[in-house]
Amino acid sequence: MTSTVAPVKAALVALFTTALPQVQVIYGPIETKTTTGPNVLTVGDVAGATEMDSLTYGTAAERYTVACSISCGINGPDAQQTVTELAMGFYVAAELAVREHPTGDLGVAGVLGAQPTGEFELVETAEPTGRYALVQFSVYVQAQRT
């Protein structure tokens, strides 16, 4: 019996890479990359639960949430609105890519459904090095381990 978490993360990376060509999509934390650009999307932590279907533990249901983050940065003292609009645009496109997946299961065996939770958070940061916008959202996955 294998979990769907790892293939789902990989599928999300592939999906977002195709849907957001201007964004560097990273599997895991940003520090894993030697080179990072001004626009990144990380497919990060997963939290959820597994429920056995029977006492024999032959199959189990998985329900979990994959945390994703989009971070955009831009130089210039008046760039906050620009970078915020950029990050929100990428978020909308990423969420749409998940919602409009043709099979609704990210193409991963065992996944019954994968949809954005709809919840998001926008955090704006202004530093001497530039202006930054972070949008955090998550994808809810229901799957069956077999």
Partner 1 sequence: MPIDLGDSKTRSINLTNSSGVAVAADSTPTYAVTLPDGTAGIAPAVQTGVTGEYYVVYPTVQAGLHGELWTAVVAGVTVVIRRSFTVELTTPLFVDTEEAIAHLRAAGIIVSAADLEQLRTLCGVSCSAVEADLGRLVARQVVTETFDGGQSALILASTPLISVTTVVENGITLAAGDYTAVVSAGIIYRGGQQSPRPWLWGRQNVVATVVAGFLVPPRVLRKVALNGVQRMWQSSQQTHHPGLDDVGAEEAIFGAVGTLTPLELAAYNSFRAPGFA
Query: Judged by CB under 8 A, which stretch of 14-22, 29-37, 55-63, 94-102 contacts partner 1?
Result: 29-37
Query: Judging by DSSP bridges, how do beta strands 24-27 and 39-52 pair with one another?
Result: parallel
What's the Rg (C-alpha) of the chain? 17
Residues 81-100 touching partner 1, rule: CB under 8 A, are none
Considering the complex, state which of residue 73 and residue 110 has its C-beta at the smaller distance from partner 1. Answer: 73
CB of 34 to partner 1, least distance (A): 5
Considering the complex, state which of residue 58 and residue 76 has its C-beta at the smaller distance from partner 1. Answer: 76
Q: Is 68 helix (H, G, I), strand (E, B) or coil?
A: strand
Residues 100-139 touching partner 1, rule: CB under 8 A, are 123, 125, 127, 129-130, 132-134
CA-to-CA dists, residue 66 to 12, 23, 63, 76, angstroms: 9, 18, 10, 33
Using CB under 8 A, pick the residue from 21, 34, 55, 78 that binds partner 1: 34
Query: Interface with partner 1 includes 31 (CB under 8 A)?
Result: yes
Burial class (CB in 10 A: 0-12, 13-18, 19+), 100: exposed
Query: Judged by CB under 8 A, which stretch of 9-17, 23-31, 48-56, 92-100 contacts partner 1?
Result: 23-31
CB of 95 to partner 1, least distance (A): 18
Q: Give the count of alpha carbons within 13 A of 131, CB side only.
A: 15
Using CB under 8 A, pick the residue from 5, 8, 42, 105 that binds partner 1: 42
CB of 131 to partner 1, least distance (A): 10
Nearest to 106, CA basis, from 67, 62, 141, 71? 141
